[in-house]
Amino acid sequence: MRNVAYLLAAGGMLAVSLAACGGSGGTSSGSPASSFNAAVNGVVNVSTKTGGIVKYANSGDWDDMDPGDTYYAYTWNFDRLFARTLVTFGDTPQTATTLVPDLATNLGTPSKDLKTWTYTLRPGVKFEDGTPVTSKDVKYAVERSMDSTTFPNGPTYFAQVLDAKGYAGPYKDKTPLKAIDTPNDSTIVFHLAAPFAEFDYLAMLPDTAPVPQAKDTGANYKSHVISTGPYMFQGNYTPGKDFTLVKNPNWSQSTDSVRHQYADQIQVQINAAAPDIDNRLLAGTLGVDITGSGVLPATQAKILLDSKLKQYTDDALTTRLWMSAISPTVAPFDNIHCRKAVEYATDKTAMQTAFGGQLGGDIATTLLPPSIPGYTKFDDYPVGPAGHGDLTMAKQELTACGKPNGFTTTIIARAERPKEVAAALAWQQGLAQIGIKTDIKKFPQGDYFKLYAGNKAAVKKNGYGLMMYGWGADWNDGYGDLSQIVDPRAIHGVGDTNLGVTDPAVSALIDKALQTTDTSARNTIWGQVDKMVMDEAIYVPFLNAKGLYYRPPNLKNVWVNPAFNGQYDYLSISAN
């Protein structure tokens, strides 16, 4: 028996020593020199060499491979490889957030009242089967994306903005959609219900990627999206299964100013084990973690202790804001002073620590992140120099609210998000300092907005006074960031992302911005919207998120794209 014990002890030591040796196996000595944040400040490993395979891995799966039915920053970033849209973003770090024409020859031409927008298509753009792309294909793509029953995942901006109330999409509604005209094969005209100065951003959405009606199979179209970009699907795509993109022979560089066709293939692995994604990135056998959420905390610790690894990382600022919501429909938060007491008592430093400290992000005081035009620095509810809360002000507000000794309420958070739950705990401890006792309840993230935080009736009935929340801009602009979380018209009762702002003055200010053609003046208004909402103490912004990304040394043309939530630019990346 003693011999067996020796044997086990020896085996255990061997395993531990082997694990300890696993540190930086992936960094080859011949790797080119690099530096921390090099891809934040420019393009790393610039190369125009062709060939090779770029390997991506996804710890989840697309919400839908159909460009008309997808709503993640990484899918919008990646889908550009096979789906061209009327407008897109620039292809350099300097022009990353600037809109440039893609299928169109120019940005949209608006009418004077900003209710009609016209685009002219470039000649020579073809589908992967060689058929020319026409304006009717773009119109059909937008029409079908408005069928929220068949395509329930995508954004609903076109349904909200076009003068097409009640239109149910081309499958159910056989009446042609009058809100979009195609006077000829190269012209498309959008008619809006109200002035909308930022319509070019909508023309950037994947919904405008053309779909040939003859090839449309509705919800099954995702099995083979007909490409207009430099890459196309090899065979068919099956949800939940890996896929490969190969070169599209009918794509022409002469018609495309932002894309290239350097790599031979792009391979994407679906539902990969998240820790193994990091292992393979460090080993150099994987190129990119496609979700762009950064490495896991365990990998982060490993990287930061090893300067050889750290030189291949970027700590990029994203447009994601971690915040919490205070529900004004749940007593005592129907009294603004009780909400303000929570704002002042919040320990933002502890909540930042829950998200990984300074590498996880910078402490936030506004809804607009600094990377979005219109951001104005202000702090309605300072939480003290150390960020642990201003207890004097918090107690004053509690007294004004009529609850000088505090009260009891509930915090809700998403169970599958350990950082969010840790931040909820930090928030709980901060609030306890002024006598606000909280009970933390955790719910599945898949149901979080439909059945809990975003369900108006459930919030009121169950007394969910405080709700953990996070939001990333749809695009880098005031409307793309704020409209869905502050416009009272975005409240439907179920699946809401506006968790309590009901002031009609906010809607009026948003409408004013949308009627303002001057970009600078418009951005100023977005700053005012931010201030107006923060004055109501509905939201508690606490962190402008950062993500620590690892780029294997053999990856070429790597740069952080702020237009896509600080992820690497997937159009540019090529392989060794």
Partner 1 sequence: MVAFIIRRLFAAVLLVLVIAFVTYAIFFLVPQVAGLTPYDLAARYVGKTANPATIHARMVKLHLNQPFIVQYFDFIRDLVFGAHYDAGAEQSYCPPPCFGYSFVYQTPVWPQLASRIPVTLELAAGASVLWLVGGVTIGVISALRRGRPVDRVSMGIALAGVSLPVFFTAILSQSQIRDRFQIFTGAGGQWVPMHTDPMQWLSNMILPWLTLAFLQAALYARLTRAGMLETMGEDYIRTARAKGLPERTVIARHALRATMVPIITIFGLDLGTLLGGAVLTETAWTLPGLGQYAILSIGDNDLPAVLGVVMVGAIFIVVANLVVDVLYAVADPRVRLAG
Q: Does 36 bind partner 1 (CB under 8 A)?
A: no
Sequence-distant (6+) residues with CB within 8 A of 224 are 233, 235, 236, 237
Choose which of 45, 97, 269, 507 interacts with partner 1 (CB under 8 A). Answer: 269
Segment interacting with partner 1, rule: CB under 8 A, options 22-30, 111-119, 181-189, 387-395: 22-30
Q: Where are the alpha helices (DSSP H) in 226-332?
A: 274-283, 297-304, 307-310
For position 271 contacting partner 1 by CB under 8 A, the verdict is: yes
The verdict on 81 binding partner 1 (CB under 8 A) reads no
The residue length of the chain stands at: 576
Q: How far is the CB of 332 from partner 1 (least distance, A)?
A: 26
C-alpha triplet 371, 569, 281: angle, nearest 5°: 110
Question: Which of 37, 148, 187, 311 lies at the binding interface for partner 1 (CB under 8 A)?
Answer: 148
CA nearest 395: which of 466, 338, 347, 349?
338
CB 354 within 8 A of CB 426: yes
Candidates 176, 249, 275, 418; binder of partner 1 (CB under 8 A) is 275
**Applying CB under 8 A, does 508 fall inside the site for partner 1?**
no
**418 scored as a contact of partner 1 (CB under 8 A):** no
Check binding of 33 to partner 1 (CB under 8 A). Answer: no
Among 163, 173, 276, 306, binds partner 1 (CB under 8 A): 276
Nearer CB in complex with partner 1: 276/362: 276
Q: Are 322 and 365 in contact (CB under 8 A)?
A: no
The count of chain residues that interact with partner 1, using the rule CB under 8 A, is 70
Indicate which single residue of 155, 229, 369, 566 sits in contact with partner 1 (rule: CB under 8 A).
155
222 vs 551, which CB is nearer to partner 1?
222
Q: How far is the CB of 417 from partner 1 (least distance, A)?
A: 13
| Contact pattern from residue 223 through residue 262 relative to partner 1, giving x for each residue in contact according to CB under 8 A and a dash for the rest | ---------------xxxxx-x------------------
Instruction: Give the binding range for partner 1 (CB under 8 A) out of 21-29, 381-389, 400-408, 506-514.
Output: 21-29
**Backbone phi and psi for residue 380, each to the nearest 5 degrees, phi listed first:** -65, -30
Q: Which of 25, 176, 249, 370 binds partner 1 (CB under 8 A)?
A: 25
Report the alpha-carbon distance of residue 425 to residue 419 in Å, rounded: 10
User: Which H helix or E strand runs over 421?
Assistant: helix 418-432
Closest CA to 250 of 222, 221, 234, 230: 230
d(CA 268, CA 451): 33
> Using CA atoms, how far apart are residues 362 and 545, in angstroms rounded to an integer?
7
CB atoms within 10 A of CB 319: 26
CA distance 507 to 540: 20
In the complex, least distance from residue 546 CB atom to partner 1, rounded to whole angstroms = 25
> Contact 365/380 with Cβ under 8 angstroms?
yes
State which of positions 283-342 bind partner 1 (CB under 8 A). Answer: 283, 285-286
Phi, psi for residue 471 in degrees, rounded to 5: -145, 135
Shortest Cβ 22–partner 1 spacing (Å): 4
How far apart (Å, rounded) are the C-alpha atoms in residues 366 and 321? 9
Binding footprint of partner 1 on the chain (CB under 8 A): 3-4, 7-8, 11, 15, 18-19, 21-22, 25-26, 55, 61, 63-64, 69, 71, 144, 147-156, 169, 171, 216-222, 238-242, 244, 267-273, 275-276, 279-280, 282-283, 285-286, 416, 444, 446-447, 449-451, 492-495
